[in-house]
Amino acid sequence: MFGGGGAAFAEGRCPPGQYPIGAPGAGGCAPIPAGGSEAESPRPTGRWIKTWGAFAASPSGIAGAASGWREKADAGNAAVRSCSDAGGRDCRVKFTYKNQCATAAVSNAGTGGTFYSAAATKEEAAGLSLAQCGAASKETCEVVMSNCTEPEFEKF
């Protein structure tokens, strides 16, 4: 029968999970490194692409909107098509925006033109358009169009 107590040390003088370091008699213990290499840092799996939007209008007041286009010109062309499809003639791009929301406001009295603004949210853009419209027309104004662009995720 064996006698005696005391801790059993698997790695010489060190407890389990550690190994001896330093000179004999003056050393210490260090943790045994986990097998394998260091964990790799996360890598992106794709990228976000910002998109364009646009408003177009005809002299008769018919309008169109488009959003989600990668190119500014494509957004403008799509807005003109939307305006034309709604019955507008001689539709022209009036406002373009990228990676945000946009609104158009007009005076309830029909004076002063159309006021376009863009901001992070529809509510912010509406506040800007309404403020510009009200200051210019001295009338009550309303938002007649609003739209937002959304970024697209492109996987690698």
Please list the rounded mean pLDDT of every run of 10 residues in the chain (156 residues). Answer: 47 76 76 69 89 97 97 99 98 98 92 93 98 92 96 92
92 vs 55: CA distance, rounded Å: 9
Look up the pTM and report it.
Answer: 0.70
DSSP string, 13-35: TB-TTEEEESSTTT-EEEEPPPS
